[in-house]
Amino acid sequence: MIRSNRVVATTFAASLALMAAGPSGYAQQKQMAPQPAPTTQPTAPQPPELKQVALTDKQVQGLLDSQDEMNDITAKLPDDPSKPPDASTMATLEAIARKHGFANYAEYGNVAANIDMLLDGFDPKTKKFIGIEASLKNQIALIQADTKMPAKDKQDALDELNDSLKNAPKIQFPANVDIVAKYYDKLNDALRAQE
């Protein structure tokens, strides 16, 4: 499934945030231990695992209030998350995050990633949370039933959804569902309107 620039930016923000929040950076690990020469093609680095947090109304409102400013900056960022923004851009993102009640841009990105994960579990028609696994299964059924989709596109989409289903996260903070449900329309418009 192709995501909009806003969702790419949110995912990018979350990746940056998770890397920034980690106890040791990838670069530090590389410097500490000599690495053997690769024997196979290198693979793209995987984004860090999402750190689930208990969401608050204040965080959700801060994220919503910051969207226009954040989007103005993140729209200019390259789509390639391996190319981090320069120091000036990061300073601007940090300032916007703090202005809207976040300790830093890492916290902003983690909150955005938690919300994005939960939005995956809502049925867009009923706007009710059905669970991430159930939502993915519904999407799989819709694609399987689609007779107009080209076979290659269908198989690619099914492969992606089945992979997501295998790796579907368990919700650690069930109260987060109620908070996201309360702001569902605004969050969906802000984070997913152009998907």
The residue type at 33: A
And the tokens for 123? 């049925």
Give the number of domains in the chain. 2
Element (H, E) at 128: strand 128-129
Quick check: is 72 in a domain? yes
Quick check: is 162 in a domain? yes
Spatial contact of 87 and 26, defined as CB atoms under 8 Å apart? no
Spatial contact of 125 and 22, defined as CB atoms under 8 Å apart? no
Dihedral (Cα; 95, 83, 155, 10), 10-degree rounding: 0
Quick check: is 38 in a domain? no
Quick check: is 69 in a domain? yes
And the tokens for 125? 């028609």
Q: Are residues 67 and 155 in the same domain?
A: no
Quick check: is 32 in a domain? no
105-126 pLDDT tens trace: 999 999 999 999 999 999 999 9
Spatial contact of 9 and 75, defined as CB atoms under 8 Å apart? yes
Q: Are residues 154 and 188 in the same domain?
A: no
- Enclosing domain of residue 2: 1-22+49-119+173-195
Mean per-residue pLDDT over the chain, rounded: 81
pTM of the model: 0.73
Quick check: is 139 in a domain? yes
11-60 pLDDT tens trace: 455 555 444 444 333 232 333 333 444 444 444 344 557 899 999 999 99
Quick check: is 30 in a domain? no
Q: Are residues 99 and 145 in the same domain?
A: no
